[in-house]
Amino acid sequence: MRHGKYPFIIGFLAVPVALYAIFVVGAYLQMFRLSLTDWSGYGAFKDVGFDNFVKLWNDEVVWTALRHNGYLLLLLPIVTIAIALLFAFLLNVGGGSKGGMTRGVWGSKVYRVVFFFPQLLALALVAVIFQRVYGPDKSGMINGLLPDSWEPWLFLADENWALTCILIVLIWQAVGFYVVLFSAGMGSIGQEIYEAAALDGATRITLFFKITLPLLWGNVQVAWIYLGIAAFDAFALVNIMTVNQGGPNNSTQVLSMQIYLNAFKYSQAGYASAIGVVLFFLALSFAWLTLRVTRRDNATA
């Protein structure tokens, strides 16, 4: 077995590593290189040192976008994880125990599948669907359900609420996946632990906080990082759904949208790369910080 080990591993890894090196690492390296140039996206370019980063520092729109990413970063993981944990708990343990077995609420098998549906839709489709859900006149789905005498809600056309509308879609789309992730995690928690706690007279709430959550910590941590990265992105929804791609009045502007606009619309690929570099480091430090802060000795099941 020993002799064949390395060729075996290399055989498996070569293709994915090569793909990763070309399409991820290579792309990042080029981005770093371009961030120091004035490349328009067409033809030749010359080096401009750190000019792009200076410009970025003074760009109000980039700061606005950053604040919006921060808002998503703050709320997307926590709300999604809270909802997903609640649903997963209800699906698996929420029905109480009968004959020494914990079980989910009635119909949990159906819910489990239903919750996963949003995950199966392409994000672009979700965006188009929610555009109609959020329709700002009586033809919109939510406004159509409201009483006729009410003024239609503006949703994405309202500067104060537009970003929250995007956040809600992000949550709606993500929850199902994390329900399944947490369900699977809960499945690996030993039945006897629940049994013992139930014998000691623990309520469902105690079960959740004292047993389920600590034993699920590893999964929650992973979820937090993925959702954080998703909060740094949000490009597809903003691009498709919002007024004037990031409006009204930049109220839904995010960094990824700024990269897109600068690279492909304003022909400032160098500058866009600089924003990309910033985003790269932001996402990296976020992941690192999350892992540091949420580290729990021996609790990562």
Partner 1 sequence: MSDITKSELDRRSLLRRAAAVGLAATPAVGMLSACVGGGSEEKNDQATGTKSADNPLGIDPKAPVEIVIFDGGLGTKYATDVDTPMYKKKWPESEVKYTGTEQIATTIKPRLNAGNAPDMINNSGADMMDFGAIVKAGQAADLTDLFAAPSFDIPGKTVAETLVPGAIEQGTYDVEGGRKPFAVNYSFTVFGLYYNKKLFDKNSWTVPTTWADFTALCDKIKAAGIVPFAYAGANASYYMVRAIMTSAAKIGTEQVLKDLDNLKPGAWQAPAIKQAAEAWGQIGARYMNKSFLGLRHTEVQLQQNQDKVAFYPCGSWLENEQAASITPNFEYAVMPYPSVTAADQLPATAINAAAGEIYFASTKGTNVQGGKEYLRVMLSKAAALEFTKLTKSLTVVAGAADGQTISPGLTSGNDMLSKAGKDIFMGYLWDTWYKKMNDASLEAVNALMFSGGDAQKFCDTMEKVAQEVAKDSAISKNTRV
Contacts of range 16-22, beta carbons closer than 8 Å, 24 or more positions apart: none
Interface with partner 1, residue 187, by CB under 8 A: yes
User: Is beta strand 101-102 parallel, antiparallel or unpaired with respect to 97-98?
Assistant: antiparallel
Tokens of 89: 């708990």
Interface with partner 1, residue 103, by CB under 8 A: yes
Distance (Å, rounded) from C-alpha 38 to C-alpha 273? 10
Total residues binding partner 1 (CB under 8 A) = 80
One character per residue 28-47, x = contact with partner 1 (rule: CB under 8 A): x-xx--x---xxxxxxxx--
Instruction: Measure CA 69 to chain center.
Output: 11
Neighbours of 123 (CB within 10 A): 17
**Residue number, 134 or 208, with CB nearest to partner 1:** 134
Among 164, 267, 290, 294, binds partner 1 (CB under 8 A): 267
Smallest CA-to-CA distance from 112 within 92, 83, 96, 86 is with 92
Q: φ, ψ for residue 102 (rounded to 5)?
A: -80, 150
**Residue number, 92 or 207, with CB nearest to partner 1:** 92
CB of residue 2 to partner 1, shortest distance in Å:
25
Instruction: Looking at residues 226 to 265 of the shown chain, list those that interact with partner 1 (rule: CB under 8 A).
Output: 226, 229-230, 232-233, 235, 242-244, 247-250, 255-256, 259-261, 263-265
Interface with partner 1, residue 184, by CB under 8 A: yes
DSSP states of 142-201: HHHHS-TTSPPP-GGG-TTTHHHHHHHHHHHHHHHHHHHHHHHHHHTS-HHHHHHHHHTT
CB of residue 10 to partner 1, shortest distance in Å:
20
**Residue number, 3 or 98, with CB nearest to partner 1:** 98
Instruction: Looking at residues 81 to 100 of the shown chain, list those that interact with partner 1 (rule: CB under 8 A).
Output: 92-93
* Beta partners for residue 101, in sequence order: 98
One character per residue 138-177, x = contact with partner 1 (rule: CB under 8 A): -x------------x-xxxx-------------------x
CB of residue 293 to partner 1, shortest distance in Å:
19
